[in-house]
Chains A and B, each alone.
Chain A
């Protein structure tokens, strides 16, 4: 009876489940005794104590029911006896499963550590995600990002020319900063010792981390390179449960490393990137002799310990705490080294409790940052982490993961914590003590009042017309002032409709767009700008303090914005971003 009612998608999921079964998975499927001990290990349960569907065993039961109905002795004969009668039958049920598997679990694996039976609930939830993805049921952000990883080779759809352009931009800045012609970012260097792989977020929205890493490699005298392909260390296969995608992403890095003949791959500070490149990718890709790999944290720590770089911890005097990425700590055994490095480069470290393998998720893991439909729930579930951070009294939360950076930034704003997020690469670069030969050549003290910047540097936006869109008058005034000081002609709008009208009329070179505005909000405005022939080519830099912007980055109903800056905005960063976006646009036009 039940079989007759099943849709084609459900049957496909059942077939797919059979392919995903191995001894460990089956052990976890049959091992649960429904004791409820995993309950309070989950940050969703703690945030929603009255919603019992948040409990990990309930989430794992969704795939367990499918298993029991199709593979278990008792479940096959008496499905109702073991709860296997409540399997999904129609495609509407899959939407509910999608909400559970993607929207109420970050696959952080904390519940796994709390299970007396050793049931790996996070793995079971990932399997459910994989079954859903197999039949095309997944959040829009996951779908778009997965498609880009398959087709373009990185999760943010960064084109090769844009990637190279950004690396060259950072390389030029490094060279300018240090005044050494050799202080550049080597690309495609055959036979280098290290191939440095990064998160596309660094290219798209946080390129300074690339420059900082390059500075550290330079100071250490490292023989390193960045590849032009296979550079993305992230892997949405981990989040979507698609082992095929996972293997394809990882293989790109491994094959590039072999092509360049490097000794090892160094993975920038990205938790899931580290886990999927260093561990899971090896298995998904069926690698028999994996290329040696390590986290950049390990690389930096070794530089300090081996005396290849010198650091001055007094340059990082603020009170700091450390947030463990779940993928690093629980699934990678990587928690002492970041602390060791943090203690070497900062003055005041305060531990957060619980920590290491028992730490709570930042709530941005498992691809949650790309699932904007679940943002309100995610932020509510972040309360436990916010309370942890608040209790430390730290002014800086340090983490070794880009997803955690975004997740923590969101919760810091949402819960109004008085702190900021940094990565170890930021702190190490800041604490670097350069040798005489490495120091910037222009590092000769010049009294500020007599130092005159060249015109181009003083007014990098001269001749540009910029439209500032923000509903808050003080923010608008601030942005107008910064852009005008940089030489731009600035026009402004205080809401979405006005912005669209002005963009059509004035055809600015760049739009600085806030997302949280009354009436037509920034997302709607952005989509309309991108969908209108007269305005779709105008570059947009999103400037916002709210997480809604991720909808336009990940769901991507239209091409994503050219830049993103979080509030509060750093003046220099704003001008640098605007200049880069405009220069890049010029290069493309030429």
Chain B
């Protein structure tokens, strides 16, 4: 058992409460989405040789792992963005892992292989976040389509990654970080994050399986999914 300060203990409790609240709000969000009627395509399959809505849905759902499947991630510029996307989201996974594991099994995060892996992804995601902030602010196109929520969500995550890196450094006893203040701040920020996410664009991952499945089924039924690449 690790010794924790009362302040850290309070932060942990708040963090778990926030998680429960988020789960409830997410449930309501999904119920809200499912309250809309599901449109059914009554037309016959588009092309007997290619049509398969289940296959289309699977392809669509997992195209996140297939950068070659979309022109936007296949082209060199898009592929760089794709790599940054992968790092960013692995950083989010690492950050969430840090938040929860640090409260129930902090010693696990002190195992060098684990600790450095988490650190790598969080720091990488932090750097990607900085790039993303710059991209959103400097590119006129991104400014045009961005809302306050887009900026705030990104800045909040960037700060979250930065404090997460400091927390991981504290847990690993490296870089001279000795105060649990970062871990406390990290847990409070995570709590806020958990409460804010269902109301922000960050909840996109909740919708992702739905949107990808819907478009995959629709285009799979027609026969245009999976995309048949140009042949030479």
Residues of A within 8 A of B (CB): 21-28, 30-41, 52-53, 55, 57-58, 61, 73-74, 80-83, 112-120, 278-280, 282-283, 286-288, 290, 292-293, 329-337, 351, 353-358
Please give, as numbers and ranges, the residues of chain A lying within 8 Å of B81 by CB-CB distance: 35, 37
With a CB–CB cut-off of 8 A, which chain B residues contact A116? 63-64, 70, 72-73, 85
Which residues of chain B (197-220) have a CB below 8 Å from chain A?
199-201, 203-204, 207-208, 210-216, 218-219
CA distance A482 to B228 in the complex (A): 49
CA distance A102 to B135 in the complex (A): 30
A82–B41 CA distance with the chains assembled, in angstroms: 32
Cβ-defined contact, A58 with B149, below 8 A: no
Which listed residue (A53, A81, A279, A354) contacts B43, Cβ 8 A? A279
> Is B71 on the interface with A (CB-CB < 8 A)?
yes
**How many B residues face the partner with a CB closer than 8 A?**
63
B46 at the interface (CB under 8 A from A): yes
Q: Is the CB of A37 within 8 A of B78?
A: yes
Q: Beyond A333-B46, A335-B224: 12 further Cβ-contacts under 8 Å?
A: A21-B36, A23-B36, A24-B218, A36-B145, A37-B73, A55-B144, A118-B212, A119-B215, A279-B43, A280-B43, A286-B42, A332-B222
B33 interface residue (CB < 8 Å to A): yes
A-binding segment of B2-10, B47-55, B92-100, B162-170 = B47-55
Are A118 and B211 in touch, CB under 8 angstroms?
yes
Whether B91 sits at the interface, judged by CB under 8 Å, is no
Q: Given A333-B47, A333-B50, A357-B228, check contact A114 B42 (CB 8 Å).
A: no
B220, closest chain A residue (CB) = A333
Collect the chain B residues with CB atoms within 8 Å of residue A283's CB: 39-43
- Report 7 cross-chain contacts, Cβ distance below 8 Å, ordered by A residue: A24-B38, A27-B207, A30-B33, A40-B78, A117-B208, A354-B230, A355-B230
Which of A27, A55, A334, A357 sits near B33, CB closer than 8 Å? A27
Q: Is the CB of A52 within 8 A of B211?
A: no
Cα(A41)–Cα(B231), bound, Å: 19
Question: Please, how many angstroms separate the alpha-carbon atoms of A21 and B149 in the complex?
Answer: 24
A-contacting residues, B65-93, CB 8 Å:
70-73, 75, 78, 81, 85
Residues in A with CB closer than 8 Å to B64 are 116
Q: Which residue of B lies closest to A56 (CB)?
A: B145
Say how far B40's CB is from chain A's closest CB, in angstroms: 8
Say whether B176 faces chain A, with CB atoms less than 8 Å apart: no
Partner of A34, one of B46, B142, B224, B230: B142
Question: Given A33-B201, A52-B144, A287-B42, A351 and B72 touching (CB < 8 A)?
Answer: no
**A356–B228 contact, CB under 8 A?**
yes
> Shortest CB–CB separation between residue B105 and chain A, in angstroms?
32
Which 6 pairs, one residue from A and one from B, show the smallest C-beta to C-beta distance? Answer: A333-B223, A83-B147, A114-B72, A333-B46, A118-B212, A118-B215
Query: CA A281 – CA B189 in complex, angstroms?
Result: 51
Cβ-defined contact, B214 with A30, below 8 A: no
- Is the Cβ of A333 less than 8 Å from the Cβ of B148? no
Q: Is the CB of B211 within 8 A of A22?
A: no
A330 nearest CB neighbor, chain B only: B224
Residues of B within 8 A of A81 (CB): 147-149
What's the nearest-Cβ distance from chain B to residue A238, in Å? 14
B138 within 8 A of A: no
Question: Which residues on A sit within 8 Å (CB–CB) of B139?
Answer: 36
What are the residues of chain B within 8 A of A83 when measuring CB–CB?
A: 147-149
In whole angstroms, how far apart are the Cα atoms of A354 and B229 in the complex?
Answer: 8
B residues near A52, Cβ cutoff 8 Å: 140-141, 144-145
B50 to A: closest C-beta gap in Å: 5
**Inter-chain contact A351/B224, CB cutoff 8 Å:** no
Q: Which residues of A contact B150 (CB under 8 A)?
A: 33-34
> Which residues on the A side are within 8 Å of B140 (C-beta)?
52
Q: Please classify the interface of chain B as helix (H, G, I), strand (E, B), loop, or mixed, using the class held by over half of its residues.
A: helix
Tell me, yes or no, whether B174 is within 8 Å of chain A by CB.
Answer: no
Q: Are B145 and A34 in contact (CB under 8 A)?
A: yes
Residues from chain A with Cβ under 8 Å of B41 in the complex:
279, 283
| Set of chain B residues within 8 Å of A353, measured between Cβ atoms | 230
Residue pair A27, B210 in contact (C-beta under 8 Å) = yes
Contact A351 B230 (CB under 8 A): yes
- Contact: A53 with B72, CB < 8 Å? no
Instruction: Give bound CA distance, A59 to B28, whole Å.
Output: 29
List, in ascending order, chain A residues with CB within 8 A of B141's CB: 36, 39, 52, 55
Q: Which of A22, A55, A358 contacts B39 (CB 8 A)?
A: A22
Q: How far is the CA of A24 from the CA of B40 in the complex (A)?
A: 10
Distance between A435 CB and nearest chain B CB, rounded to angstroms: 30
Most chain B beta-carbon contacts within 10 A, residue among A116, A282, A331, A358:
A116
Nearest chain A CB to B36's CB is how many angstroms away? Answer: 4
**Could you tell me the distance between the alpha carbons of A582 and B191 in the complex, rounded to whole angstroms?**
81
Q: Is B34 interfacial (CB 8 A cutoff)?
A: yes
Specify the chain B residue showing the minimal Cβ separation from A73: B199
**B37 in contact (CB, < 8 A):** yes
Q: How far is the CA of A24 from the CA of B212 in the complex (A)?
A: 10
B residues less than 8 Å from A57 (CB atoms): 145
B27 is an interface residue with CB less than 8 A from chain A: no
Chain A contacts of B63 at CB under 8 A?
116
Tell me if A290 and B43 are in contact (CB < 8 A): yes
- Contact in complex: B70, A119 (CB < 8 Å): no
- Chain B residues, CB < 8 A from A112: 215
Give CA–CA (A280, B33) in the complex, Å: 23
Choice from B199, B211, B224 contacting A329 with Cβ under 8 Å:
B224
Distance, CA A420 to CA B90, complexed state (A): 52
From B38, B42, B142, B227, give the contact of A22 (CB < 8 A).
B38
- Chain A contacts of B178 at CB under 8 A? none
**Contact of A58 (CB < 8 Å), options: B78, B144, B208, B216:** B144
Set of chain B residues within 8 Å of A23, measured between Cβ atoms? 33-34, 36-39, 210, 214
Q: Say yes or no: B42 contacts A288, CB within 8 Å.
A: yes
* Residue of B60, B78, B150, B219 most packed against chain A (CB within 10 A): B219
* A292 CB to nearest B CB, Å: 7
Contacts of A330 in B (CB 8 A): 219, 224
Contacts of A22 in B (CB 8 A): 36-39
Question: Which A residues touch B146, using CB under 8 A?
Answer: 34
Closest B residue to A298 by beta carbon equals B47
- Complexed CA–CA distance, A120 and B212 (Å): 10
User: Whole-angstrom distance from the CB of B228 to the nearest CB of chain A?
Assistant: 5
Query: Shortest Cβ distance from B131 into chain A, in angstroms?
Result: 13
Q: Which residues of A contact B38 (CB under 8 A)?
A: 22-24
B54: min CB distance to chain A, Å: 15
Q: Give A111's nearest chain B residue, CB to CB.
A: B72
Question: Could you say which of A23, A33, A333 has the most chain B C-beta atoms within 10 Å of its C-beta?
Answer: A333
Cβ of B37: which chain A residues have Cβ within 8 Å of it? 22-23
Whether B145 lies near A55 (C-beta < 8 A) is yes
Neighbour of B204 across the interface among A117, A332, A357, CB < 8 A: A117
Contacts of B219 in A (CB 8 A): 330-331, 333
Minimum distance in angstroms from A473 CB to a CB of chain B: 46
Contact A31–B71 (Cβ < 8 Å): no
CA distance A278 to B41 in the complex (A): 11
Q: Is the CB of B204 within 8 A of A33?
A: yes
The docked-state distance in angstroms from the alpha carbon of A283 to that of B219 is: 15
A35: B residues at CB distance < 8 A:
81
